[in-house]
Amino acid sequence: MTKLNWGIIGGGEGSQIGPAHRISASLDGHFHLAAGALDIDMEKGRAFARKLGIADDRAYGDWRAMLDGESGRDDRIDLVTVATPNATHYGITKAFLENGFHVLCEKPMTMTVEEAEEIVAVAETSGRICAVNYGYSGYSMVRHMRAMIARRDLGEVRLIKAEFAHGFHADAADADNPRVRWRYDPKQIGPSAQFSDCGIHALHMASFVAGQEAKTLSADFVSCIPSRVLEDDAMVNFRMDGGAVLRLWTSSVAVGRMHGLTLQVFGEKGGLRWEQEHPNQLYWTQVGGRTEIIERGAPDLSPEADRASRVTIGHAEGMPLAFANIYADLAEVIAAEKEGREPDPAATLFPTAKDGLRSMAAIRAAVESAQKDGAWTDARPVSMRG
Ligand code: NAD
């Protein structure tokens, strides 16, 4: 496959998500880290870029300089990752798309539904990929869940239960710590905290595996720590457009829960259960039958699951490898375009700007619903209400 040039904005030294992107993008050898504007502090960013092996003239002080510099090069980057704080995603993603670059943007894609609509439009006009890093959809067994549901092993899907509940903001004495406080500050995070940070991952996962999108929702938000203006716990019920009911719980005060992302799907013929902290096993129970464990790497899995699996059965594959599957998909699609061939169809599952837009519409609807004591509210972007 053609070797591709990759750049990243944000993800500087000490950042939370930067290391996962660097490991994931480099894992399969498709991408070469060629350029970066890594830090809000220009000098720190340049120094870290050099440490990572980026050439001096491509170790940029800020993203505008990177856009200018890369636009003028014959060997310009083929993909840019936007891993900066939320409020900057829209401006950076839009500018790079408009200048002909493929983008992988961190979630949430934007701060508002209107910005998200614009990103979808710009991606369409430019013909460039705008992917959004709902990276947990890259797990092999999540893709197998999706394949099983699509081939109707479960029959009609009745219920989905999705949870993304951790306990790392439960300490009231720590609530004023600046590292925690900004996450509940509407000026920095928007009108929702926990649902917009973690809930949208769970919603994307549910939609991804079931092949159904949120239609209406009813939300209950609560701030367990009273000094917080925004919610640290949310329970949201959805009616999906394919007829399923989704019950979603997200929390940052669930003491004892770690990453806390789990997914269960119940259909007329059977049920599936997957837990992100044990991602290599998928539990499958047919009506009236015993529970079977489907292992990642086992024979006769779906092509989507096989494509997303690297080492042999029994060896754990975790989060950076799930993100690496998003990068591997993007590499395949971008390289196929450069080589003038069709991409592997199993490589086209990465989340896109349309998923980013759906999330922003769901956040707005959940905030409105919670303010009206859980009133049922249309969860779809206006442009997708048909
Ligand atoms: P962080 O605060 O740990 O790191 C942010 C990095 O971006 C820092 O290195 C900072 O210096 C740099 N930065 C800030 N503004 C910049 C700018 N204008 N130009 C260049 N660099 C800039 O944040 P984080 O936790 O790594 O989160 C970053 C993004 O990733 C957020 O949008 C967050 O929602 C998302 N995230 C996604 C996942 C996931 O599972 N997909 C997980 C964690 C975080």
> Does 22 contact ligand 1 (Cβ within 6 A)?
no
Task: Determine the pLDDT at residue 213.
Answer: 98
| 106-118: pLDDT as tens digits | 999 999 999 999 9
Give residue 198 CA to ligand 1 midpoint distance, Å: 15
User: DSSP string spanning 173-211?
Assistant: GGTTSHHHHGGG-HHHH-S-SHIIIIIHHHHHHHHHHHT
What average pLDDT does the chain have? 97
Q: Domain coordinates of the chain in residue numbers?
A: 4-135, 138-311+356-371
CA 283, 284, 288 angle in degrees (round to 5)? 135
Cis amide prior to 108 (ω within 30 degrees): yes
Please give the angle made by the CA atoms of 358, 355 and 265, to the nearest 5 degrees. Answer: 90
pLDDT computed for residue 239 by the predictor: 98
Q: Is 346 helix (H, G, I), strand (E, B) or coil?
A: helix
Give residue 189's region: left, alpha or beta (phi > 0; psi -120 to 50): alpha
What pLDDT digit, counting tens, does each position of 54-89 carry? 999 999 999 999 999 999 999 999 999 999 999 999
- Which pLDDT score, from 0 to 100, does residue 195 have? 98
Residues 69/49, Cβ–Cβ less than 8 Å:
no
Ligand 1 pocket, 188 CB below 6 A?
Answer: no
Rounded to whole angstroms, the Cα distance separating 39 from 60 reads 9
Ligand 1 atom, smallest distance to 86 CA: 32
Half-sphere exposure of 371 (CA within 13 A, CB side): 10
* CA separation for the pair 272, 291 (Å, rounded): 9
Mutate to test the pocket of ligand 1, among 8, 21, 39 (most ligand atoms within 8 A of CB): 39
Alpha-carbon distance of 353 to 129, in angstroms, equals 8
Cβ contact 249:163 at 8 Å: yes
Report the nearest-CA residue for atom 1 of ligand 1: 15
88 lines ligand 1 (CB under 6 A): yes
The tokens describing 90, both together, are 């829209």
- Reply yes or no on domain 4-135 having CATH 3.40.50.720: yes
190 in contact with ligand 1, CB cutoff 6 A: no
Assigned CATH class of 138-311+356-371: alpha beta
Rounded CA-CA distance 195/201 in Å is 9
Distance from Cα 357 to the centre of ligand 1, integer Å: 20
> What is the longest distance spanned by two Cα atoms in the chain?
64
With the most atoms of ligand 1 within 8 angstroms of its CB, the residue from 106, 179, 252 to mutate is: 106
Tokens of 40: 């809000």
pLDDT of residue 386: 79
What would the pLDDT profile of 161-203 be if each residue is shown by its tens digit?
999 999 999 999 998 898 899 999 999 899 999 999 999 999 9
What's the gap in Å between 376 CA and the centre of ligand 1? Answer: 33
Long-range interactions of 276-280: CB distance < 8 A, separation 24+: 276/136, 276/139, 276/319, 279/139, 279/140, 279/141, 279/142, 279/316, 279/317, 279/318, 279/319, 279/322, 280/140, 280/141, 280/316, 280/317
Q: What is the pLDDT of residues 283-334, one digit of tens each?
A: 999 999 999 999 999 999 999 999 999 999 999 999 999 999 999 999 999 9
Helices and strands in the chain: count of H runs, count of E runs: 13, 14
Tell me what percent of the residues of the chain surpass a pLDDT of 70.
100
The finding on whether 48 has its CB within 6 A of some atom of ligand 1 is no
Phi/psi zone of residue 35: left (φ > 0), alpha (ψ -120 to 50 degrees), beta?
beta
Q: Please give the structure tokens belonging to residue 277.
A: 């902290």
pLDDT band at residue 99 under the 50/70/90 scheme: very high
| Nearest-CA residue for atom 17 of ligand 1 | 40
pLDDT of amino acid 179: 85
CA distance 356 to 208: 13
Mean pLDDT of all residues in 207-215: 98
pLDDT of 128 reads 98
Report pLDDT for 115: 98
What local confidence, expressed as pLDDT, does residue 351 receive? Answer: 98
Q: pTM of the entire structure?
A: 0.97
Confidence of residue 152 (pLDDT cuts 50, 70, 90): very high
- Report whether residue 83 contacts ligand 1, using a CB cutoff of 6 Å: yes
Confidence of residue 21 (pLDDT cuts 50, 70, 90): very high
User: Residue with the nearest Cα to atom 7 of ligand 1?
Assistant: 10
